[in-house]
Chain A
Amino acid sequence: MTFVGSLGIILLAVITVVLAIPLGTYMYKVFSGQRTIFEGIYNPVERLLYKLMGVNAETEMTWYIYTKKFLTLNLVMFFVGYLVLRLMGHLPLNPDHIPSMNWNLAFNTAMSFVTNTNWQSYMGEQAMSYLGQMVFVQFLQFTSIATGVVMAIAFVRSFVTRTGTLGNFWFDFVRIITRVYLPLSILFGILFLALGSPQTLHGAAVVHTLQGAKQTISRGPVASLEAIKQLGNNGGGFFNANSAHPFEGPNAFSDVLGILGMSLIPTALVVTFGQFIKNKKQARVLYIFLMATLVVGAFVVYAFEAAGNPVLAHVLGIHGPNWEGKEVRFGPALSSYFVSATTAYTTGAVNTMHDSLTPLAGLVPLGFMMLNMIFGSGGAGLLNILMFMIITVFLSGLMVGRTPEFLGKKIQAKEIKLATVAMLVHPFLILVFTAIAVVSKAGLAGIYNPGLHGFTEVLYAYTSGAANNGSAFAGLGANSPFYNVTIGIDIMIGRYVSIIAMMAIAGSLATKKTVPASVGTLATDTYSFGFVFMAVVLIVGALTFFPAVAIGPIAEQLKMWATGR
């Protein structure tokens, strides 16, 4: 570990927070229907869009209607996406003659992109046509994150609604794209272009190397995809190597830009939440504890990576940091922050091979996805934060001698039932699918590294799916009917069950009277509460996943230490 490296990690966290605060305030204005900059341009465009879509963007919706619109839109996008993948071999914009996908890969990929997961069982440059990259990948990278964010906004409205309704789905959905993601994507796209990412519709370049060999260099509309890939917490890369590829991550600046891109909106949403409930301190408390967890995670990765691999030191006499799977142009410190951020923000872009991390460093991204709420992806992350806040409020609310209330709303059996479902579904998917995979023939067939590391690879895959992260640990042959279908289902349930459960809670809270706060009320905007909140998250997470990570990364690290001694 170096001083500059450590400083860089802290600086990145600070810059993220500084940029996210005004963005969060701006997003509050967007969602509360206030005038924002460029109103004169947005307004007519949006009205035209509503007209084209044939929707009414003014009527207030109950949680039920709102969620129904969300599900219907997702269903339509899934089927259209599935068709594009199945037919793209015969469609235009395919200079490299890439064939259509088979049914299970198409199912997995369509599910993955419609849910903002971007798990890729295919190799981008070899299995996705330019039409697929633009119409399927980039289109869904905008819409999937947009549908996620609006659900969280609808939930937050349940605390302040007077009518029991949660806003209008179309209003939110269109505005988040036109006023937040599109302008930011254009900005980031140009920056990526400037930093060296290509943007072209020409097919792969064929060049003659100095040695006289012929080399095919894949390219395409990369810069634009890169922008929304990060901003939208998508993570699905143009190339298989993702941000480690020189075209997706040309240099350290593009790496920093990628980190900021994925961090901005989920962090800003915490501010937006605070603005909605008229309590900035609440946002600040969440900020501090979540950001601290993220930074601690980055430092854990950094420390274990900088310590290197004792086996290599022992057997080969190679000392120093673990460089395996890392890009020299990024270095261990930046890579460590990227590893933490991409899983904390549930993005799934990778600039480092997570498979090559030392075991306990690898536990950080795995752990962040298991918790699934260290900011999380735009929208879904905030929903998970709120879910854990409800659980925490319930436990700690009892301890102050009142039936629990959260921001003035009573938390009763119904909310607890739904929050428990939302909390339960995540570990359920991860553990059950991993168990099936490690004892079934089809599952075992995909494990390239037997033993503890292979176990971690499978565990990581289903965790990534359930958390809608999409990053891969690699080392797992996931493009098989078994993994495509199981991970596809893992992704689907992980996304929709918890969102529906949370929206049902929002519906229930929206109709409840707001109890005025008194000194006897448990304040959730205190650092004490923040501490208890983090403790509940970590203890519940640890209790749920401890056995699995004990026989995965922990046992592996202990073995490595034992061998290297």
Chain B
Amino acid sequence: MAKSATFNREIISRAVGDSFVKLNPRVMIRNPVMFVVEIGFVITLLLTFDPNLFGGHYPATQRAYNLIVTIVLLVTVLFGNFAEAIAEGRGKAQAESLRKTKTDLWAKRRTANGGYETVPATTLRKGDVVQVAAGETIPADGEVMEGLGSVDESAITGESAPVIRGAGGDFSSVTGGTKLLSDELMIQVTVDPGESFLDKMISLVEGASRQKTPNEIALSVLLAGLTLIFLIVVDTLEPFAHYVHGSRSIDVATLIALLVCLIPTTIGALLSAIGIAGMDRVIRFNVIAKSGKAVEAAGDINTLILDKTGTITIGNRLATEFIPVGSHTEQSLIEVAVLSSLFDETPEGRSVVELGKHKGVAYARENYHEANNVEFSADTRMSGLDLANGQVVRKGAVDAIRQYVRQHGGTIPDDLEPKTNRIAKEGGTPLAVIQDHEVYGLIYLKDIVKPGMRERFAELRKMGIKTVMCTGDNPLTAATIAEEAGVDEFIAEAKPEDKMRLIRTEQEDGKLVAMSGDGTNDAPALAQADVGLAMNTGTSAAKEAGNMVDLDSDPTKLIEVVAIGKQLLITRGAITTFSIANDVAKYFAIIPAMFMAVLPNLKALNIMFLTSPQSAILSALIFNAIIIPLLIPLAMKGVKYRPMSATSMLMRNIFIYGVGGVIAPFIGIKAIDLIITALGLAHV
């Protein structure tokens, strides 16, 4: 996917426009907190035209004051809309580029009589079969029925290296909008129009199908409740003041200003931006989450199930040790082993050459171009070189080599057997090395845990997440790798049913389970898991079953998704806390100002020494407005998440956003008051 700059000019200018469009009350009502501000804006606007609309005999200067309040309220609403618009902006830009991929596609559809007709891609239905030639764009999502070809998926994944797609197996699914680079494919269409991966992706990045997540709904309820409380607080203040004042009462614009300051506008304005930005962060990680709910669930994961091969280990076994047998030295073994692997392009072969080089043995390929390279075959289960001088070097499975040596009349050294067993017991794979019929020794091939995995699992443990490794290996091998990678548990000789059983038992204990998978046989487990991350290279069944798809097909991404899910919630909680904590200072600004005339003693509460009642109220209101854009970057980037215990994280965030939220507005309001005073506006 095209990676765009965080804020580019185009997105910003469009967001500014959208901020005004979103003023539409029918849109605003979805956000009750900001809707209250908008209503307040309308009322103060009317009061600007007629300050005595609700009775009273206000001097003409009241009009100017009301106007300033009106403007600040409008700006507050616009800031909130801007936050949402800018969060949506990035997605919209992406959606547009994706949409371009989709337009004007044509397909060669096979007809009933075996011929082909050219039809618009939009008319393709599930079950249709289309033919795609090299250089053409694949018209719809489907499964390859015949052929093998390389496909450029950069339109979807942003990854320019082509991938191989072919009939059968786990690499048979193709996505509409990607381009076939070579060969020819017969594809059976698997989706109806409008349901394609591309369609889903467009609506997802655009936020069109965005629904409030359960937690977001709960928070909105709480915010609406707080708004209601403050509505009552402010509404009853007028009668209270009336009782104390006698006849005079507080002007409506000031009451509205107090109300807007108190209701949680900061979080109200940023809430949907936080949600959109969270989804966007997932997308920029090249993971397509089918719902925000899935991302939220990721933050709650208790158990993470990972496949061993390709996820925890590199996936190929690599040479780690040379073990000579009989009377041979390590040096001579290395020489033969490296020679046997000189032209071996498999990862195992290359790792032997690498390890040899590391140990000081290197041969130049040029010197051996006359040698005959014997590739590995399932039949012989060995590979190597027939040298020009007639010598034969081989490496291969120990029993295959043993058989070969016996056939050629060689002898098997006594220590071959115990040394082979030792390697197997440790979970490695032994390869025997021979020159002619002489066994030189063994190459110790080992499953290599990806660098950094141990640290990541330690991190997960700190987050309270248990990791379970699934592998087809025998328990011995599995235990070795589990130990080395530092996973908490493992399942050896695992069958797909085992994964399913594990997910079920964990879920019965109330735990949330995440897993990644790509094969069709993973599909049921992916669907059962609370977070199922399917690989984009996987089958369409897997992609359909999971609630997230990783375009880079990197199963370890689950770890990042978990962090993003947590970050999303933390950001929400932090800004809510900040928003509520801010109210303390606002009270100290507004209450003494409101009652200055009748209860002059309340002046003692003016601990910020604000210049005048008007300046105090306006400063609080302006602070309330400008804190929104100031926090947009935080809402977009999310609060920094570091794995640590829940209690220390709570204290850390309470300290920053709670205590900070109490202190910051005292400073901010005072600063704004100084500016207002300097501008001579303190007594409008």
State whether these chains interact: yes
The prevalent SS among residues of A at the interface is helix
**Cβ of B218 and Cβ of A411 under 8 Å apart?**
yes
A516 with B511: CB separation less than 8 A: yes
Chain A 388-409 residues near chain B, CB threshold 8 A: 391, 394-404, 408
**Does A319 have its Cβ within 8 Å of any Cβ on chain B?**
no
Least CB distance from A107 to B in Å reads: 25
Instruction: Flag if B217 contacts A518 (CB, 8 Å).
Output: no
Q: Is the CB of A522 within 8 A of B646?
A: yes
Partner-contacting stretch, out of B80-88, B171-179, B573-581: B573-581
Is B317 close to A, CB under 8 A? no
* A432–B238 alpha-carbon span in the complex (Å): 11
Residue of B nearest to A559 (CB): B601
B603 CB → nearest A CB, Å: 8
Contact B651 A543 (CB under 8 A): no
Known: A427-B232, A520-B463, A562-B601. A399 touches B649 (CB 8 A): yes
Kindly state whether residue B569 has any CB partner on chain A within 8 Å: yes
The listed residue with most A CB atoms (<10 A of its CB), out of B217, B262, B583, B601, is B601
Give the residue of A400, A520, A539 whose beta carbon is less than 8 angstroms from that of B580.
A539
- Please, which residues of chain A bring their CB within 8 A of the CB of B240? 434-435, 438, 455, 547-548, 551
Q: Interface code B217-244, partner A: CB below 8 Å = 1, 0 otherwise?
A: 1110110110011101101111111111
Say how far B645's CB is from chain A's closest CB, in angstroms: 5
A399–B573 touching, CB < 8 Å: yes
Q: A416-B221, A427-B229 are in contact. Are A435 and B239 (CB under 8 A)?
A: yes
Return chain B residues, CB-CB under 8 Å to A543.
Answer: 229-230, 233, 262, 580, 583-584, 587
In the complex formed, the residue of A with least CB distance to B566 is A401
What residues on A are CB-neighbors of B581 within 8 Å?
539
Query: Which residues of B (276-312) have their CB < 8 Å from a CB of A?
Result: 296-297, 299-300, 302
A209 interface hit (Cβ, 8 Å)? no
Any B CB within 8 A of the CB of A513:
yes
Counting CB contacts under 8 A, is A423 at the interface? yes
Q: B615-654 CB contact bits vs A (8 Å, 1 = yes)? A: 0000000000000000000000000010001110111011
Interface presence of A555 (CB below 8 A): yes
Chain A residues with CB below 8 A from B650, complex form:
396, 399-400, 522, 528-529, 532
A interface bracket (residues with beta carbon within 8 Å of B): 35 or more
B510 cross-chain contacts in A, Cβ below 8 A: 408, 513-516
Q: Is B658 an interface residue (CB 8 A)?
A: yes
Does B599 reach chain A (CB closer than 8 Å)?
yes
Q: Judging by beta carbons under 8 Å apart, are B647 and A528 in contact?
A: yes
Quick one: CB contact mask for A528-565 with B, threshold 8 Å, 1 for yes?
11001001000110111011101100110011011000
Q: Is the CB of A395 within 8 A of B576?
A: yes
Given the known interface contacts A551-B244, A554-B602, the answer about A519 and B221 at a Cβ–Cβ threshold of 8 Å is: no
Residue of B nearest to A439 (CB): B239
- Say if the beta carbon of B572 comes within 8 Å of chain A: yes
Give the distance in Å from the alpha carbon of A205 to the alpha carbon of B217 in the complex. 66
Q: Which residue of A lies closest to B224 (CB)?
A: A420
- Asked if residues A455 and B243 are in contact (CB atoms below 8 Å), the reply is yes
Q: Does A417 contact B (CB under 8 A)?
A: yes
The distance from the CB of A563 to the nearest CB of chain B, in whole angstroms, is: 9
Q: A396-B654, A532-B650, A543-B262 are in contact. Are A420 and B221 (CB under 8 A)?
A: yes
Given A402-B300, A520-B646, A431 contacting B233 (CB threshold 8 A): yes
- B568 to chain A: closest CB distance in Å? 8
Given known A-B contacts A395-B576, A432-B232, A435-B236, A403 and B591 have beta carbons under 8 A apart: no
- Given known A427-B233, A518-B302, contact A401–B649 (CB-CB < 8 A): yes
**Known interface pairs A439-B239, A520-B465, A550-B602. Does A400 touch B570 (Cβ–Cβ under 8 Å)?**
yes
Q: Which residues of B pack against A, CB within 8 Å?
A: 214-215, 217-219, 221-222, 224-225, 228-230, 232-233, 235-244, 262, 296-297, 299-300, 302, 461-466, 509-512, 565-567, 569-570, 572-574, 576-577, 580-581, 583-584, 587, 591, 595, 599, 601-602, 604-605, 641, 645-647, 649-651, 653-654, 657-658
24 contacts between A and B (CB under 8 A): A396-B654, A398-B219, A398-B572, A399-B654, A401-B641, A403-B296, A412-B215, A413-B218, A420-B224, A423-B225, A424-B225, A424-B229, A427-B233, A436-B239, A455-B244, A513-B510, A516-B302, A516-B509, A519-B461, A519-B463, A520-B464, A520-B646, A543-B229, A562-B601
6 more contacts with CB within 8 A, not counting A399-B650, A431-B236, A539-B580, are A403-B215, A408-B510, A417-B221, A421-B225, A520-B646, A550-B602
